[in-house]
Chain A
Amino acid sequence: MNSAIEIMMILLVLSDMALLGLSRLRTCISIVSFQGMLLGVLALTMQLSAITPRLILIAAASFIIKGFIFPFLLRRGIREAGAQYEIEPFVGYIMSVIAGLAMLGISFWLGAKLPLFAANTLLIPAALTTLFTGLFLIIARKNALNQCLGYIIMENGIYTFGIVSVAEIPLLVELGILLDVFVAVFVMGIAIYHINREFDHLDSDRLNILKG
C-alpha cells in the first residue's frame, strides 16, 4: 500500500522533471495525461480501505478529464496552431531541470515545516513540486499552449495536495472545483484558438501591444 503510493509519488516527481526538460509539446501532453491518470488512481489508492461511490465518482471524473479530455483539447490546439516545439523559452531546458531540482529541495523543506498529517513523507513534497513545476512552466515558457499545460500541472499539484491533506471535501465542492478547472482549460483552449487565428503565432511574449 504505502510502497505503491511511494512509487506513484516518485513517478509524479519524475514526470515533473521530464516536463521541465522536454521540448516536444506532444510528448509533454502525453506526460501530463499520464499524470492525470496517475492522480485518478492515487485518489483511490489513498483510501483503499474505505472506497465509497463518492470516491469512485471523483477518481473516475478526474481520471477521464485529466487523462483524456485535457490532452485531447491540447492536441487539437497543436494541430490548429502547428506548433511542435517551444522555439526559445525564457529559461533553457537544462536550466529548467536544475531549477526543478531546486524546487524539489524546497518542497521537501516546506513539507517538513508544515504540520500536516500525511500517510507518507513523500506525498506533500511531491504535491508541492508539481505545483511549483506548473508555476515555473507558466513563467518560463512563452508558448500559450505550454502555459496552459503549466496551469494543468499546477492544478494537478493542488489536487494531489487536496487528496493527501484533506481527502474529505464534500462531493459538491469537489465536483465544482473539477468543473471549474475543466472550464478554465476549455476557455484557454478557445482563447488559444482565437489568438492563433488573429496573430498567427502562440508566443505570449509577443503579446505586447498593451503596456504601462
Chain B
Amino acid sequence: MPIASIINICLGLLLAPLLLGIINKTKAFFAGRTGQPLFQAYLDIIKQLRKGVVYSQTTSLIFRAGPVIGLASVLIALAIVPLGGVAAPLAFSGDLLIFAYILGLMRFFTVLAALDTGSSFEGMGASREVLFSALAEPALLIGLAAIARETHAMSLSQMLPAVSFLSPEVVLVTVALLIVYLCENARIPFDDPNTHLELTMIHEVMVLDHSGPDFAFILYGSALKLWVLGLVIIGIVFPASSGSFWFISVISAIGGLFFLAVIVGIIESTMARLRLIRIPQLLVAAGSLSLFAFILVLR
C-alpha cells in the first residue's frame, strides 16, 4: 500500500512539532498556567526560517553542514519507521540497525558542529551528549534486538506489528525505551529543554550558536526525532496490523503518540532534573532492563 505509507510520512512531517506543543501544554496544565499556544513550535520554526543566518568567523563548513545533515538523517529515519501497521517506504531486512545509527549520525554531526564553534560551553555540552548517548545506545539496540528476536524479523516494519501484546519482555523493553526516549530527546530527568543556565544544559547548549534557517532545521529535526522514536515505542506497546481499515490503526497510533507526549509532559512536571552523576545510573538501569529482556527472549 504505497500511498498509505506516503501519507504516513506526510502526517509525520506535518504533525511532529505538535508533540512539542502537547508536552508544553501538559506542563502548563500541571503548573496551573495557560502556557504557550499549542502550535508554538510551528510558529518558532517559521519565524526562524524567515531570519537571516549569522556565522562566526572561526567556524568552518562543518558548522554549516551540521543542521542540514541532522535534518536529512532524521528524515531517513522517518522513512524507516512504520506507522499504524503500514509498512514504511524504506523497509528492508536489518533496517533497525540503520534506524539506530542514522539517529547516531544526526547526533554526531550536531556534536561536530558544536565542537566547531570552539566555545568551551558547547564543547562541554557535546562531551556530555556523547557520554549519555554512548550509554543510551546499547539500551536502544539491545531492546530492539530483543524485539527482533521475539518476532523473528529484522525489519521494523515486520517487527512492530508482530509484537505480542504486553508480554513481560515487551514491558521491560518498553520501560527501557521510554528512558532512552527521554534521554535522546533531551527531556527531564536527563536535560531540561527550558533551562537557560549553560552549565547545566546538555542538548540546548550545543545549538546556541546556530541561528536562522539552520536553527529552524534543528528545531524541526528534534521534533521529528520525538516523532520517530515515539513511533517505535507506540508500535511496541500497541501492535497494530494493517487491515483494510488502515487509517483507523494509523489514527489510533497517532493518538497513542499524543498520549505519549502527555506522559512525557507529566514526567517533566513531576520529576526534577537528575544530578549529572546520577544520569549514567539511570541509563545503565535502562540497559540492564533491555539486556534482561533479551536474555528472557533468548531462553
Contacts and interface: CB of A to CB of B under 8 A. Distances in A.
Contact of B296 (A3, A10, A100, A112): A10
B284 A94 contact: yes
A157 B280 CA distance: 28
Given A6-B168, A10-B172, A21-B281, A101 B288 contact: yes
A124 to B, nearest CB: 11
A69 to B, nearest CB: 30
B292 A14 contact: yes
A82 B270 CA distance: 30
Main secondary structure of the interface of A (DSSP, over half): helix
B285 A122 contact: no
A100 B284 CA distance: 12
A29 interface: no
Contacts of B296: 10, 122
A51 interface: no
Given A94-B284, A97-B285, A121 B299 contact: yes
Given A97-B284, A100-B288, A101-B292, A10 B299 contact: no
Give the bracket for the number of chain A residues in contact with chain B.
Answer: 20 to 34
A7 B172 CA distance: 11
B102 to A, nearest CB: 28
Give the one of B288, B289, B291, B299 with max A CB within 10 A.
Answer: B288
Give the bracket for the number of chain B residues in contact with chain A.
Answer: 10 to 19
Given A6-B168, A10-B168, A93-B281, A122 B291 contact: no
B287 to A, nearest CB: 8
Interface in A76-113: 93-94, 97-98, 100-101, 104-105, 108, 112
Contact of B292 (A93, A104, A112): A104
A93 B298 CA distance: 26
B105 to A, nearest CB: 27
A125 B296 CA distance: 11
A17 interface: yes
Contacts, number: 41
A5 to B, nearest CB: 11
A128 interface: no
A149 interface: no
A6 B167 CA distance: 10
Interface in A48-62: none
Interface in A4-46: 6-7, 10, 13-14, 17, 21
Contacts of A112: 299
B65 interface: no
A7 B168 contact: yes
B180 to A, nearest CB: 16
A112 B284 CA distance: 27
B168 A17 contact: no
Nearest to A10: B168
A3 B165 CA distance: 14
Contact of B291 (A14, A94, A101): A101
Interface of B: 168, 172, 280-281, 284-285, 288-289, 291-292, 295-296, 298-299
Interface of A: 3, 6-7, 10, 13-14, 17, 21, 93-94, 97-98, 100-101, 104-105, 108, 112, 121-122, 125
Given A98-B288, A122-B296, 13 more contacts: A6-B168, A7-B168, A10-B168, A10-B172, A10-B292, A14-B292, A17-B288, A94-B284, A97-B288, A100-B288, A108-B298, A108-B299, A122-B299
